[in-house]
Amino acid sequence: MNSVLLIFIDGLGLGRRDSACNPLARFAPRVLNCFSDRLGPFPRAGICLPTDVQLGVPGLPQSATGQATLFTGANAAALLGKHLSGFPNGALRALIEKESVVLRLKKAGYSVSFANSYTPSFFQKRPRWVSVTTVVCESADLSFNLVEDVRAGRSLFMDYTNRFLRDRGYDVPERSPKQAAAILAHHAATFDFCFYEYFLTDWAGHQGDSEQQLQILTNLDEFLAEIVELLDLSTTSLIVTSDHGNIEETQHAKHTANRVPTILWGPIQRLVEGRTALDLTEIAPLIRASLEPGRSR
C-alpha cells in the first residue's frame, strides 16, 4: 500500500549558487542541494524538478494563491487574476472547499493527517484570517493536533525544534532536527497521506537577517536528511516543495520570481519519468496518482 508525505516549505526558491546572496551556498546541504544552475546530488536517489510558480500571472508569486494552487491543483492566481499574499480570501476558500486534494482523498477513503499542531489560542480566540492549510483541514474535517500531541512526541509544531513554544512558556521539550524527523516519520507511517508545513523559511526571508537564515536552513536540511533516511521509500513517496521563492535571495526581503524545487523520492518518481520541470498545479494530481495507481491523471 503506497503512502505519501508532503513537506511544504514556505518561501524557498532556486537561487544562484553564490554564497554572497544565497544562504544555501554557505554550507553543503544534503537535501536542500538545489540551485538554479545545479540540482543535487540528493541522498537515496532523490530527484529535483524545477517548478514554475509564476503560472502565467504577472507579479511576484505569493503565499495564499501559491498554497491554494499546491493543495488543489487549480491555478489559483489565474482564478483571481493576481497573486494574493498571506491568507486566502473568500474565492480561494471556496476553491479549497471544493477542490482540495485532502478532501478528495478523504472522500475516496484514504486516511489523511496534517502533522502540524495548534496552540490553545487558535481555538480560544480564532484569528480572523486563517492559513490555506487550516482551510484545507477544516474543509476536510481533519482533527487538529494540539500542544499535548507535541509534548507526547505524536506531532510537530511549525517550529519543530519547539523553541517558539518554549519561548512562550509552553512545557514542551526542545527537539533536535533528528528527533523531530523521527516523530514526523513515525506519524506519517500511520496515514495514507500526511502533510507538514514549515514557514520559518519565508519568515526569515522577510526578516532579512542572513545569519538567522543560515541557521534555519542548516537545521532544516538536517531535519530533511533524517526524514529521507527514515522513510521506507519502497512504499512511501516523499515530496518536498514550496509555494514561491524568498530565502534564496538574501540581498532583499521580498519574494522572488524564481522557480521552486520539487524534490521527489520513492514510487512517485515513476510518474514524472522523462520530465525536466513541473508547475505548481501538478503537485496535487501527482499526490492523488501516487495513492490511486489506477486513476488516470
Residues near Zn ion (CB under 5 A) are 202
Q: How far is the CB of 146 from Zn ion (least distance, A)?
A: 26
Other Cβ atoms closer than 10 A to 80: 18
Nearest approach in angstroms of CB 61 to Zn ion is 10
**Smallest distance, Å, CB 56 to Zn ion?**
21
- Note if the bond before 29 is cis, omega within 30 degrees: no
Minimum distance of Zn ion from residue 243's CB (angstroms): 9
Q: Strand ranges (DSSP E) for 138-191?
A: 145-146
Q: Which C-beta is closer to Zn ion: that of 202 or that of 282?
A: 202
Q: Which is nearer to Zn ion, 192 or 202 (CB)?
A: 202
Instruction: CB nearer to Zn ion: give 68 or 286.
Output: 68
Using the minimum distance from each CB to Zn ion, give the nearer residue, 184 or 247: 247
Dist. CA 59–CA 164, nearest whole Å: 32
Measured from the CB atom, the residue of 61 and 177 that comes closer to Zn ion is 61
Q: CA 26 → CA 22, 29, 131, 203, 214, distances in Å?
A: 7, 9, 31, 19, 8
Q: Which helix (H) or strand (E) segment is 263 a member of?
A: strand 260-265
By the 8 A CB rule, do 40 and 263 touch?
no
In the complex, what is the shortest distance from the CB of residue 246 to Zn ion, in angstroms, rounded to a whole number?
6
| Nearest partner of 26 among 214, 160, 169, judged by Cα | 214
Q: Which is nearer to Zn ion, 202 or 221 (CB)?
A: 202
Q: Report in angstroms how near the CB of residue 69 gets to Zn ion at its nearest.
A: 15
- Name the closest residue to Zn ion (Cβ): 202
Dihedral sign from CA coordinates of 263, 269, 274, 279: negative
In whole angstroms, give the CA distance from residue 238 to residue 3: 9
